[in-house]
Structure 1
Amino acid sequence: DILAELETTDYDADVVHSKANLARANLKLEMERKNVPREIDRARAELSEAITQRDFFKTQLERWNKLSKTSTVSPSDIEKAASDFESAGHRVERLRQALDLIIEPQEQRLKVAEADVAAAESDLTKAEWKRGNTVIVSPVNGTVLKKNVEEGNIVNPVAFNGSFSICDLADLSDLEVELDIQERDISRIFVGQRCMIRAEAFQDVPYEGFVSRLMPIANRSKGAIPVRVKVKIPPGMEGVHLKPEMGAIVAFYKKGEDDSKPPASTEPDGSEAAPNEADADPALPEPSTASVE
């Protein structure tokens, strides 16, 4: 279920900006794929033209050198032909280097364009993910215990003052009772031990349960060890008699007693019978008052 919806203006703008960047990166990649072969063809054509022009100037220079022996060509014409031939040679070399600069890095240019597309796609994915997070969905099936914000409030998880959470949520079918057992009695408590739990406000409504864990550190000031008791809530009874933060009374059963029996017997009408408090081990600690979590 949806718990809240946050303002999306900034995130919508980020998504639009990321889509534009992705479109630009794709266009650039497409242009690179089309333009690189064209640039190579144009550079080769210019190089071929320069080579032809150089060869022409070379032929002209050789012919005028032969004609100079008959004194029909002036020295200035020969010098000009030599200058044109040398310039054409330099132009050929320049165009050949320009062609190499296009051919050699063409693969790298395409990889750079493809990397830009990948980066734009990741930015778009991140922007859409952030926008999707503006819809706050409950992570578990549960009940809202407390609403901490109103419409228009700013929620900051790291704030010292103000709202740092939207609401308090709990699964009322998955409750535990935390209680302190004195160190002198802890040897008779073990994981999986059957228990009977009664809410202080509804002591005529018992619940089956079992010891789920013994905490790894003791409470020195109380001389006790924290123990968690898992409560078995019958279907349809969630939050009716046993609620978070309520006081509860827990009684423990003897080790090995009724191990072969189910946690609760079945009455002829199909309802579950409440455990008999007389079955509790009298040698165990007195029923302990604790809080429900």
Structure 2
Amino acid sequence: MATKDEVETVLGRAGRGRRRKRGVYVLAALLIVGAVVWAVVSFTNRSGPEWIAEPVARTDIVATVTATGYVQPTNQVEISSELSGVVDEVLVDDADTVEEGEVLMRLDRRRFAAAVKQGQAQIAAAEAAVDEARAILDEAELALSRTTTLLDRGTASIEQHVSASTQRDRAAASLASAEARLSLAEAELDIAETDLERTCICSPIDGVVLERSVEPGQIVAASLQSPVLFTIAEDLSRMELDIDVDESDIGRVEVGQSATFVVDAFDDREFPARISELGYMPRTIDGIVTYRAVLAIDNEDRLLRPGMTATARIVTSEVGDALAVPNAALRFTPPVDVIPEPTEITGRRVWVVDGETIRPVPLRTGLSDGEVTEVLEGDLSEEDSVVVDMGAR
């Protein structure tokens, strides 16, 4: 049986356990109350969205069309040989300046000179044949005249007269044949002399040799696709830029519009140009329909070279000192849950900052350069700011 001391010890331990449990409950309750208070305070102090705005301003607006292409000479000539032969000498090289009629190269002339001599000999033989045929005709006409006189006197027969007449006709035909052979020989001599002249390949224009593709001793074979021996560009101080304009932009492009372009070799410099020609034939590049446009270029300083890749910027229209809003403002629409008031505005609009809130303003817009857009009508002024984006505080 337990003693009095043992009973008191057991009862003391039970009391201490109950006190520890009450402390845990109190601590948990305090934590819950603190969390609720923090949530209420945070919710009460939370503010609305932060409007990112830009000012309405006056500026010059320039609408442009961008296209790429290549710098080309205004006139470029590829020179081939009409004759087959061996190259005797080449007198020019790449980048040489040449004048119209200047000799570029010569073929070996010996075979062609021999053909000329042969033609001259054939003409001499043909001329001798003509003289002989003419003498025979004169003799035949004289015999026919005598026979006719004797026939009138009755001392010659009709058969003799017919024979004399036939001989005269044959002599006339022989003369005509000899004269035809002479004409043929003269034509063949003309061809031979022309070929002899063509052994000298000359420049058809004033210009610069862009490329020489022939060497002395090379055999040139004339055919339907004769090899190009020289490429000559006319007057590199005047060049053109051949560009492809997208079909979506071609309606805004006109002859006479000004433009600027850049090339990789001088990417820190803009070159002026002007549209001189617009094509109607479509060209499909990578599935995109484009139209050819030609820009005239002044290249007096000779910085630009044929074949350079260029990016052109064509000015299609421009407005000075226009009231404008950023394009981002025209694209911005606030979420439905933060719009201050419902609005039934349709069409283009911007949201103007009005104190702590924003309000919609309908607009009629005009020219755009891709960054800002002209305001033609709308309740806006330079003191206003329009929303372009939204961020949370």
What TM-score, normalized to structure 1? Answer: 0.63
Residue 244 (structure 1) aligned with residue 306 (structure 2): yes
Q: Structure 2 counterpart of 1:165, which letter?
A: V
Q: Structure 1 counterpart of 2:228, which letter?
A: S
Report what 1:169 is aligned to: 232
Residue 188 (structure 1) aligned with residue 233 (structure 2): no
Report what 1:287 is aligned to: none
Secondary structure of 1:99's aligned partner: helix
Residue-pair matches, total? 220
Residue deviations 1:47-82, cap 9 Å, x none? 999xxxxx8xxxxxxxxxxxxxxxxxxxxxxxxxxx
Q: Indicate the structure with greater strand content.
A: 2
Residue deviations 1:197-236, cap 9 Å, x none? 333212425233324222501315241314232333244x
Secondary structure of 1:245's aligned partner: coil
Q: Is the 8 A contact 2:144 2:165 kept in 1?
A: no
- Structure 2 residue corresponding to 1:138, chosen from 177, 188, 203: 203
Q: Indicate the structure with greater helix content.
A: 1
Q: Structure 1 counterpart of 2:231, which letter?
A: D
Q: Is the 8 A contact 2:250 2:291 kept in 1?
A: no
- Structure 2 residue corresponding to 1:99, chosen from 164, 169, 189: 164
Q: Is the 8 A contact 1:195 1:251 kept in 2?
A: yes
Deviation at 1:44, TM superposition (A): 7.5
Residue 22 (structure 1) aligned with residue 86 (structure 2): no
Give 5+ residue unaligned stretches, structure 1.
Answer: 50-54, 56-88, 258-280, 285-293
Deviation at 1:137, TM superposition (A): 1.0
Q: Which moved more, 1:191-200 or 1:141-150?
A: 191-200
Hey, what's the Cα distance between the residues in 2 that align with 1:157 and 1:11? Answer: 15
Cα distance 1:234–1:242, how it changes in 2: closer, same or farther (>3 A)? Answer: closer
Cα distance 1:20–1:184, how it changes in 2: closer, same or farther (>3 A)? Answer: same
Hey, what's the Cα distance between the residues in 1 that align with 2:368 and 2:287? Answer: 23
Q: Is the 8 A contact 1:214 1:226 kept in 2?
A: yes
Cα distance 1:283–1:146, how it changes in 2: closer, same or farther (>3 A)? Answer: same
Report what 1:200 is aligned to: 264
Secondary structure of 2:260's aligned partner: strand
Residue 9 (structure 1) aligned with residue 110 (structure 2): yes
Deviation at 1:38, TM superposition (A): 2.5
Deviation at 1:252, TM superposition (A): 0.8
Q: Structure 1 counterpart of 2:315, which letter?
A: Y
Deviation at 1:136, TM superposition (A): 0.8
Q: Is the 8 A contact 2:126 2:181 kept in 1?
A: yes
Hey, what's the Cα distance between the residues in 2 that align with 1:168 and 1:31? Answer: 53
Q: Structure 2 counterpart of 1:164, which letter?
A: P
Q: Is the 8 A contact 1:198 1:205 kept in 2?
A: yes
User: Where does 1:117-132 land on structure 2 (aligned, <5 Å)?
Assistant: 117-132=182-197
Secondary structure of 2:284's aligned partner: coil
Hey, what's the Cα distance between the residues in 1 that align with 2:368 and 2:111? Answer: 65
Q: Structure 2 counterpart of 1:7, which letter?
A: D
Residue 213 (structure 1) aligned with residue 266 (structure 2): no
Structure number, greater radius of gyration? 2
User: Where does 1:223-238 land on structure 2 (aligned, <5 Å)?
Assistant: 223-235=288-300, 237=301
Hey, what's the Cα distance between the residues in 2 that align with 1:165 and 1:254? Answer: 40
Deviation at 1:177, TM superposition (A): 1.8
Residue 37 (structure 1) aligned with residue 102 (structure 2): no
What's the % identity of the aligned pairs?
A: 23
Q: Structure 2 counterpart of 1:9, which letter?
A: R
